[in-house]
Amino acid sequence: MNDFADSSVLVTGGNGAVGCNLVRKLLDLKANVTVLDDLSQSKRGNLPQDKHLKVIEGNILNQRTLEKVFARHYDYVFHLAARFANELSVNDPIEDLKVNIQGTLQVLLRAARQKPEKFLYSSSSSVYGHQKIIKFSENTLPRPSTPYAASKLTGEHYCNVIHELYGINYTVVRLSNSYGPFDPSGKFRNVIPNFMVNALKKKDLIIYGTGKETRDFTYVDDCVNGILLAAKSSKSNYEVFNLGTGKETTIREIASLILSITNSKSKITFRPMRQFDHIKRRSMDISKAKKLLQYEPTINIKRGLENTYRWFLNSV
Residue-range domain boundaries for the chain: 2-179+218-244
Is 243 in contact with 286 (CB distance < 8 Å)? yes
Q: State yes or no: pLDDT of 147 exceeds 70.
A: yes
Architecture of domain 2-179+218-244: 3-Layer(aba) Sandwich (3.40)
φ/ψ bin of 244: left (φ > 0), alpha (ψ from -120 to 50), beta (otherwise): beta
Quick one: which of 298, 273, 295 has its CA closest to 174? 295
What's residue 315's pLDDT? 80
Q: DSSP character for 235?
A: G
Report how far residue 50's alpha carbon sits from residue 42's, in angstroms, rounded to the nearest whole number: 19
Q: State yes or no: pLDDT of 1 exceeds 60.
A: no
> What is the pLDDT of the chain when averaged over all its residues?
95
Pairing of β 249-250 and β 214-215 = antiparallel
Region 134-153: what's the mean pLDDT?
95
Report how far residue 162's alpha carbon sits from residue 170's, in angstroms, rounded to the nearest whole number: 9
What's residue 278's pLDDT? 77
CA distances from 229 to 8, 37, 181, 279 (A): 17, 23, 21, 29
Digit-coded pLDDT (tens) for 90-131: 788 999 999 999 999 999 999 999 999 999 999 999 999 989
41 or 287: which carries more pLDDT confidence?
A: 287
Digit-coded pLDDT (tens) for 215-246: 999 999 999 999 999 999 999 999 999 999 99
Strand-pairing partners, residue 34, are 10, 54
